[in-house]
Amino acid sequence: MIIKLIEKYSALFASWKIIEYDQDGPNLRLKAEFEFTDGSIFFVRQVVLREVTFKYAYHWQDKEGWLRCRWDNAPHWPNMPTHPHHKHIMTDGKISVEISKGGDLEAIFEEIAQFLLK
C-alpha cells in the first residue's frame, strides 16, 4: 500500500526512503521519511499487531525543524471526540490539539497536498 501512495503523490516529494519495513503475517512495522518539494519533512511510524492493534505517529515539520502537524493515536487526550485519534498543530508559535479522522495515511497525504498546493 505504501508504494501505491508514493506513486500517487510522487509530485510532492523531493525524496523518500523506507527506513524499516517488517511484515510477518498480520504483523507490520513501518518507518519511512519523506522530504517534500518545499523542504519540509514527514516521518511515518506504524505498527500493526495481529490486525487488532494499530499504532501510528505521523510527524510533519518544516525545513527548519519546527512542527507543522503531528497525527497520532496515543491515548493521552481522553476527552477528544475522536479519541484516541488527534493531531497537534503549530499555529503562530503555539501548539493546539484537534480532532483527527484517524491514521489513514492517504487522508494525511491528501491533507498535506492541499497545504502544499495552495
Domain extent, residue 82, equals: 2-116
Nearest to 67 by CA among 44, 29, 41: 41
Q: Tell me if 56 sits within 8 A of 103, measured CB to CB.
A: yes
pLDDT of 1 above 80: no
pLDDT of residue 118: 81
- If one counts the domains in the chain, the total is 1
The reported pLDDT for the residue numbered 67 is 97
Q: Alpha-carbon distance 95 to 46, whole Å?
A: 23
Q: Is the pLDDT of residue 23 over 80?
A: yes
Q: What is the pLDDT of residue 57?
A: 97
pLDDT averaged over every residue in the chain = 94
Segment 15-29 shows an average pLDDT of 93
Residues 50, 100, 20, 5: is their CA dihedral positive or negative? positive
State the pTM of this model: 0.91
